Amino acid sequence: MGFPRIRGDTVTDAPSTPTLVMIDKVTLAATLPEGAAPFRAVDPASNTINATDLGITRGDGIFEGLGVVDGHIQAFDAHLARLARSARMLDLPDLDLDVIAAAVRHSVELHAPAPFLLSKLVVTRGIEGSGIPTAWVHTTGGFDFDAERANGISVVLLDRGYRHDVAQTSPWLLQGAKTLSYAVNKSVLREAARRGADDVIFLSSDGYLLEGPSASLIVRFGNRVVTPRVDLGILEGTTQVAAFDYFAAEGYETSYELLTPADLAGADGLWLASSGRQIAPISRLDGQEVAIDRDLTDRMAARLLGRTA
C-alpha cells in the first residue's frame, strides 16, 4: 500500500490513515469513573479538542515527536523522561507515564504497518479553568527524507535572542522545555526560506551555537564528535544521543561543549538530528558550501533506522 509523502509539514501524495488516541487519565492524580478506559481511539478527523483548550489558545502545553521504525518506538524511555521534565518545567501535574506510554503504543498498533511512522504526543494545560490536562497521540506515516539525507540541507545561523545561560538565569522562559509554543520555531524556517535556505541553527545572543528549531546539531572534528551542551536552554535530543551511541561504537570520541560559529571552520561534518528526519547532513552554512560524507551519513542513518545487523 502507498503512504503519503511528507516533506516538513506537507503531505505530498496518497494517504495512509493516521490514528488518534485521546488520553483520559493523563495525570497520576486523575480518577476515572468505574470501568472507564484510560485512553480511547477516536476518528482523527473528528472535532475532539475544545476551542478553549489552553494548548490551542495559548500554546500552553508540551509535546514529543516519536519516531517509529517497523513498529518499534525509538528511544521511548528517553522521550517519556523528556516529557516528564517538560511537564515539571511548566508546573503541570505529575503525569501518568504508564498510561501515556500505553496510549502511544495503542496509537502505533492501530496504524497500518509501515517502515517509518511519527507519533506526536501532546499534553496541554487543558480546557481553561478546568485544571485538567488534555492529551492525545496522533500517529501518521509517509515521511520521505531520502533526498535531504543524500544531498544535504542548506542552513543559516539565526540569533535566538537569549544568552547561553538563559536556562539558569531565567527558567520561566522555559528554554529547554519542549513546549507547544513553536510559532517562533516555524517563523525562523520562513526566514530561512527568504534567505534561500532549508533550515536554521540558533545562536545565543552571546554567540554560541545552540540547536535547530526542531533538531539537534552534531559536529565532527576528525575523530571527535561534538554537540552543544544541554545546559544552554536547548533540548537533549534523543536522536543525537542515539547518534552518539553509533559514533562511540565506531571508536569516535563524543562530547558536549560550548561551540561558536568560528569553530565550524575546522569541522569535517555537520548534521541536524531529530526523531522525524533522523539525520540530515548540512551541505551549506550561511551560503558557504560544506562537504558532506554520504557514506558516514548512510551508515549512521541505517543504524538509527535499525536496518543494520
Q: Which residues bind ligand PLP (CB under 6 A)?
A: 65, 211, 213-216, 235, 237-240, 273-275
CA distance 54 to 128: 6
Q: In terms of CB distance, is 107 or 216 closer to ligand PLP?
A: 216
CB 119 within 8 A of CB 65: yes
Shortest spacing between CB 51 and ligand PLP, in angstroms: 26
Start-to-end Cα distance in the chain: 26
Amino acid (1-letter code) at residue 296: L
Which CB atom, from 107 or from 274, has the smaller least distance to ligand PLP? 274
User: What DSSP designation does 278 have?
Assistant: E
Nearest to 290 by CA among 208, 215, 192, 219: 219
Provide, rounded to whole angstroms, the least separation between the CB of residue 240 and ligand PLP.
6
Give φ, ψ of 252 to 5 degrees. Answer: -80, 155
What type of residue sits at position 63?
F
Q: Closest separation between CB of residue 213 and ligand PLP, Å?
A: 6
Q: Which is nearer to ligand PLP, 17 or 185 (CB)?
A: 185
- Min. distance of Cβ 272 from ligand PLP in angstroms? 9
Number of residues that this document lists for the chain: 309
234: Cα separation from own chain's centroid: 12
Closest approach of Cβ 179 to ligand PLP, in Å?
10
Beta bridge partners of 257: 228
Closer to ligand PLP at the Cβ: 65 or 207?
65
Query: Angle between the 76-89 and 97-110 helix axes, to the nearest 10 degrees?
Result: 130
225 in Cβ contact with 245 (< 8 Å): no
Q: At closest approach, how far in Å is the CB of 120 from ligand PLP? A: 10
Least separation in angstroms between CB 145 and ligand PLP? 13
Residue whose CB is less far from ligand PLP, 199 or 211:
211
Residue number with CB closer to ligand PLP (118 or 197): 118
User: 126 or 228: whose CB is closer to ligand PLP?
Assistant: 228
- CB 66 to ligand PLP: min, Å: 8
Asked if residues 123 and 89 have their Cβ atoms less than 8 Å apart, the reply is: no
Task: Output 79 or 125, the one with its CB closest to ligand PLP.
Answer: 79
Looking at 215-268, which runs of residues are DSSP E strands? 216-221, 224-228, 253-257
Distance of CA 285 to the CA centre of its chain: 22
